[in-house]
Structure 1
Amino acid sequence: MSTTIPTAASAPSNPLRVAVVGGGRSSEHDVSLASAAGVAAAAARRGHDVVRLTIHRDGTWLDAGRRPLGLAGAVDVLRSCAVVVPMLHGPGGEDGTLAALCELAGVPYVGAGVGAGALAMDKWATKLVAGALGVATAPGRLLTAADAASYTCAGPVVVKPVAAGSSHGVSLVRTPDELPAALAAALELDARVLVEEVVVGREVDVAVLGRPDGSRVVAPLLEVVADGLFDAETKYDGSADFRVPAELADVDRKALEDAAVAVYDALGCRGVARVDFFLTADGPVLNEVNTTPGFTEQSQVPRMFAAAGTSYEELVDLLVRDALAA
C-alpha cells in the first residue's frame, strides 16, 4: 500500500475514444448524470474523444443527441471506443450490470468487475465479507417484506435498503412508532432491508485506488461532518462539511487505511472505490463500500485526490489509462 499519489502526464498525449455512460433506472439517476457530465468534460479537456451515452429512467439507451439507440446500437457504440467509463450509481449499473455488458461486448472499462460490483452493492454480503476479515460492522438484521411486518425494536436503529446508494431510503429510527414508515420507505427501493444499531463515531471516507501493477494507493482521508444523519438530502444540499485531510491520530489513520485496503481486496475491487467508516472509540466500523462513487469535481473521492495534488482531470485520465493497462 502506498500513500504516494501517482501523477498523470502534464499534457494530454495519445488521446483515446472514451465512452462515458450516465443516468440509469435507479433512484440515483440524477446523481449519475452529474457524475457522467463531469467525467466527460474532464476527459475532453485531456484531449480524449468523448462519446456520451445515457440510459433513460425507462431503460432506453440514448446517444449524445438524446436519440434512442436500442441495446444493440448502444453495444455497437461501446465497441467503437477504446474504453468505457461507467458512471451509473446504484442498482442497474454499479451492481455489476454495466460491467457485465462491457465484458460481453469485449470492451475495457473503468472500475470494479462484475463480482466486486455485485458484492459491494449488497450491504449484507459486504458485512459478511468484512466480518470474515475481522473488520467491525454495526450489529444488524436482514429483513424481507414478510419479516418486516412482524419486526419490532426499541430503537434507535438505522433502516436502509440492502442494495441502494446515495442514502436513498435510509432512515434513523429513534422510537418504535417511526419504524413502520422507515421499513416501508426502504422496501420501496429493495426487497431486502437492513436494520442496524446506531454507531456513534466520526464518519471517515477512504479512497483506495488499485493500479495495474497490483499496488494500492490511498488518498488523504476525508471526514464528513453533518448535523444528524448524513442522508440523501444532506449529501446534496451543501450542508455537509467535508474535511480533507481529516485530522486523525496516526494510529487511527493507519487502522482505517488498512481496513479499507483489506475490504477492497477481499471484494475484488478495481480502479477507485470509496470505503466509508465510522471511527469509534474501539476503532473503525465499516459502513459501506462504493465501487462507483459520486464523481463530480466536488464529490468526496476527487476532493481526496485533489488534497494530494492530483487534479480532477488528471484523476479521470489516470483511471481511463489504467483500465487499458489492466
Structure 2
Amino acid sequence: MVMNKKSVAVVMGGYSDEYVVSLKSGQLIYDSLDRNLYDVYKVVVLKDEWYFLGENDKKYEINRGDFSVTLDNGETLKFDVCFNIIHGTPGENGILQAYWDAIGQKYTGCNFYQSALTFNKKDTLAVLSKYGIPSAKSIYLRKGEDINVDEIVSELNLPLFVKPNQSGSSLGITKVKEKSELIAATEIAFKEDHEILIESFLDGMEVSVGVIDFKGETIVLGITEIVPTNEFFDYEAKYEGASEEITPARIDEETTKRVEEIAKRAYNSLGMSGFSRSEYILMNGIPYMLEMNTNPGFSPASILPQQARHYGISIMDLCGNEVEKALNK
C-alpha cells in the first residue's frame, strides 16, 4: 500500500475550438493513470469558468490564487501535479505555464517559453533553421499589411498554403491552387490569428513524429505516415478520421534514421520536455518541418497513443512518467 498518494489534476478544456478534443484526451489520461500511486481528479479550464469536477460531475470553482478547490466539507484540495492536456490556448501557448510558475504549481510538459515558442510556427522554424532543420520557403504577413498577390505567387509558386501563425488543429488553413483564391484564403487565416504564413507547397509524404523524454532519454515513439483523403491533413482528417494513418510509415531504413535524428535534434534544440508531435513532409528523403505540437491530441484515436502502443509503452507508463518528472522538478 502506497502511503500518501500524490494528487494529480488532469487539466483539460481550453479557450479554442480544440477544447472538444482536449476533453477526450483528458479522459484517456484520467482513465490511464495508476490509482495505486495517484489520486486523480478532473479540472476543466474554459474561457468563462475554471472548475473541478467532483462526484456526480458536480462543479466546484477553482480558486485562481493557488489553483485549489474548496470542497463541500470546507476542506481545501490542492494538487501535487497538474497534468496539462489542453490543446491550443491557454495550455499550449505558455499562458497557463507562466501562471502555474508564478503560484508555484507543478505541471507536466514543457515550460512557458517552449510552449509559447512552439505555438508560433514562424518563430519555431526560424530558431530550428539555425540547427540545420529545413522547412518550406515562406512569406509572413501581419493583418492590415498590403498583399501583393503577383509577388507572392512568383516567389512561392502555386499551389501554396496559407496558415494562421498560431492556431492548432489545422483550423484556418487553405491550399491555394489559383492566384484568384489567395486573398480569400488570407481572410480565412486572419480569422484565426493576426499573423499568417504563406508557404510553398512541399510535394511529398507527410509524416507525424512522436518524441518524448522517457526515463531520462529522448526517444522517438514512432513515425506515422498520413494519407489524407482530403487535400491535406485538416481538422476533419485529424479528428473525424478522414485520413489513413500508417504506423510505422512506409519509408526505408535510411530515411527512418534521418527523420528520427532530425526529430530528436528539434526536440533537444528547443529544450523540450514531455509529449511532442512534429509534422514533416519528406521530399527526396529529406524531412522538411511544418510544425511542432507540445500538447498533441491524446484521445484513443490520436497519433501519439497509437505510436506508444506500437513502440510498446503502455499509456499508463507514458502518463506516469510525465507525472513523476513533474514531481521531481
Query: Same fold judged by TM-score > 0.5?
Result: yes
Q: Give the stretch that moved more between structures: 39-48 or 250-259.
A: 39-48
Residue 81 of structure 2 is aligned with which of 80, 83, 102?
A: 83
- Distance in 2, Cα, partners of 1:82 & 1:33: 21
- RMSD between aligned residues: 2.3
- Distance in 1, Cα, partners of 2:36 & 2:247: 26
Q: Give the stretch that moved more between structures: 160-169 or 71-80.
A: 71-80
Residue number in structure 2 paired with 1:25: 15
- Which amino acid in the other structure matches residue 86 of structure 1? N
- Distance in 1, Cα, partners of 2:248 & 2:2: 28
More strand by share: 2
Residue number in structure 2 paired with 1:183: 186
Q: Give the stretch that moved more between structures: 263-272 or 67-76.
A: 67-76
Q: 1:151 to 1:68 in 2, by over 3 A?
A: farther
- Distance in 2, Cα, partners of 1:13 & 1:307: 34
- Distance in 2, Cα, partners of 1:179 & 1:293: 29
- Which amino acid in the other structure matches residue 49 of structure 2? T
Residue number in structure 2 paired with 1:69: 62
Q: 1:191 to 1:293 in 2, by over 3 A?
A: same
Residue number in structure 1 paired with 2:73: none
Residue number in structure 1 paired with 2:166: 163
User: The residue matched to 1:221 in structure 2 has which SS?
Assistant: strand
Q: Give the stretch that moved more between structures: 75-84 or 307-316.
A: 75-84
8 Å CA contact retained: 2:34, 2:320: no
Residue number in structure 2 paired with 1:103: 101
State yes or no: 1:42 paired with 2:32. yes
TM-score, length basis structure 2: 0.88
- Distance in 1, Cα, partners of 2:160 & 2:146: 14
1:225-254, Cα deviation, whole Å (9 max, x unpaired): 112211111111112111112222111111
Which consecutive residues of structure 2, in runs of 5 or more, have no partner in the other structure? 71-75
- Distance in 1, Cα, partners of 2:35 & 2:207: 31
- Distance in 2, Cα, partners of 1:13 & 1:242: 43
8 Å CA contact retained: 1:302, 1:315: no
Residue number in structure 1 paired with 2:132: 134
State yes or no: 1:223 paired with 2:225. yes
Rg larger in 1 or in 2?
A: 2
Q: Give the stretch that moved more between structures: 71-80 or 14-23.
A: 71-80
- Distance in 1, Cα, partners of 2:287 & 2:131: 13
Which consecutive residues of structure 1, in runs of 5 or more, have no partner in the other structure? 1-10
Residue number in structure 2 paired with 1:6: none
For 1:156-305, what aligned pairs fall within 5 Å after superposition?
Answer: 156-211=159-214, 213=216, 215-227=217-229, 228-305=231-308
8 Å CA contact retained: 1:225, 1:241: yes
- Which amino acid in the other structure matches residue 288 of structure 2? V
1:22-81, Cα deviation, whole Å (9 max, x unpaired): 11112312111221122112126565211211112x342122123443523635689811
The structural deviation recorded for 1:93 is 1.5
State yes or no: 1:124 paired with 2:122. yes
The structural deviation recorded for 1:120 is 0.6
The structural deviation recorded for 1:91 is 2.5
Identity of counterpart residues, as a percentage?
Answer: 30
8 Å CA contact retained: 1:110, 1:320: yes
8 Å CA contact retained: 1:62, 1:68: yes
Q: 1:148 to 1:33 in 2, by over 3 A?
A: farther
The structural deviation recorded for 1:291 is 0.6
User: The residue matched to 1:84 in structure 2 has which SS?
Assistant: strand
TM-score, length basis structure 1: 0.89
User: The residue matched to 2:210 in structure 1 has which SS?
Assistant: strand
Q: 1:13 to 1:300 in 2, by over 3 A?
A: farther
Q: 1:29 to 1:291 in 2, by over 3 A?
A: same
State yes or no: 1:325 paired with 2:328. yes
Q: 1:15 to 1:204 in 2, by over 3 A?
A: farther
- Distance in 1, Cα, partners of 2:148 & 2:306: 43
